[in-house]
Chains A and B, each alone.
Chain A
Amino acid sequence: MAGILTLISVVAGASLASVNEMTKGPIELIKQQTLESGIRAVLNSNDLQVQAIDSLQEGSVIIYRTDKGNAVQATDANAFGGNLTVLVGFAGDGTIQGYQVLETSETPGLGAKASFWFKEGKGSILGKNPSKNNLTVIKDGGEVDAITASTITSRAFLRCVNAAYEALSMSADAESGATKQANSN
């Protein structure tokens, strides 16, 4: 009686192990492809090479350095209903090239508008530079039009963008500092 249950469990476990083995490759491949196409999309370039990947602040910010600029992935934990993860593409001088919302626990239709809202019209952040433009919502004294009825999401989104830029410029400072040091030695 218990034998049958054990038998069923063993068969189930074995079949799961084999399916896991079979799907492991495709899952990895898809994750990689999504990431690569994301980086291409936010940097507006179909032909780029990822040269280095830096993980900062325990993985909450990841910088993908490419020959066409930098793509930075940043997460904000205080979005509406959980985490918001955004991938932002910066040109060499810090100008925003594009962005993509990678993870959101937002209500579809409302907060999910973030995936296109900040690309057009008064809400657009494209072509702006976090070091020159105040990228916060108008309500907070900034210059970005918040998503209608979704200020929390808009704030979380812009926090991600600013955090991404900050991490990027800080790591750039550290790097150029390190190069300087290396040169002076």
Chain B
Amino acid sequence: MKYLKVLLNGIVKENPTFVLLLGMCPTLGTTSSAINGMSMGLATTAVLVFSNLIISCLKNLIPDSVRIPSFIVVIASLVTILQMVLQAYVPSVYEALGLFIPLIVVNCIILGRAEAYAAKNDPISSIFDGLGMGLGFTIALTLLGACREVLGTGKIFSMTVFPENYGALLFVLAPGAFIVLGYLIAIVNKLRKA
């Protein structure tokens, strides 16, 4: 029950994209299609779960004064491992996400959760916190990617919804990322108030 609450906190109450507004660069940069957004979300989730787990286990070992550098080393190692694994086994995702894979290191969500949650809680609930935050991020990115893909090309997950000629390409391009996210945040604001 307690774990479920931690999990849902990240997905709904403190959704990193719509509520905390963290990690905006990959949110905008990788969501040209639903599948790209989802890949980025899942990649971030993987790093988040492991970084939360490792940092939570090490929290009593690391002195306060070198806390941040140690966290950064752990996160950067995990990201590099992820990068190599993706390149070796899922090259299409590696190609699609490009520069944004190493940039997971500077995604504020990861360092933020390490500092705010994993450094204070036990390993199991830290895993659930990472999972919840990661899934919240994944859902947001997939939603944003799906909106842009359908408005821009008439497809969702590459399945045609309406003919491509009626799509407004603008939404796949850079301006569409900002505009769609802006309206999605407004809608989420409205729903949260209701």
Binding site for B on A (CB under 8 A): 1-2, 4-5, 8-9, 12, 15-16, 19-20, 23, 26-27, 30, 34, 107-110, 149
Contact = CB atoms under 8 A, between A and B. Distances in A.
Contact of A30 (B63, B65, B69, B88): B88
A4 B70 contact: yes
Of the candidates A9, A12, A149, the one having the most CB atoms from chain B within 10 angstroms of its own CB is: A12
Contact of A23 (B58, B63, B74, B88): B88
Interface of B: 32-33, 36, 58, 61-63, 65-66, 69-70, 73-74, 76-77, 80-81, 84-85, 87-89, 91, 152-153, 169, 172-174
B66 to A, nearest CB: 4
Contacts of B91: 30, 34
B66 A2 contact: yes
A117 to B, nearest CB: 13
Nearest to A9: B73
B81 A108 contact: no
B156 to A, nearest CB: 14
B81 A16 contact: yes
A12 B77 contact: yes
A109 B33 CA distance: 9
Contacts of B62: 4, 8
Contacts of A107: 32, 172-174
Nearest to A149: B169
A15 B54 CA distance: 14
A137 to B, nearest CB: 19
A1 B67 CA distance: 10
B36 to A, nearest CB: 8
Contacts of A108: 32-33, 36, 172
B67 to A, nearest CB: 10
Given A15-B77, A109-B32, 12 more contacts: A1-B63, A4-B61, A4-B63, A12-B76, A12-B77, A16-B81, A26-B89, A107-B172, A108-B32, A108-B36, A108-B172, A110-B172
Contacts of B33: 108
Contacts of B61: 4
A49 B36 CA distance: 35
Nearest to A150: B169
A76 to B, nearest CB: 19
Contact of A16 (B65, B77, B169, B174): B77
Given A1-B63, A4-B63, A109-B32, A26 B88 contact: yes
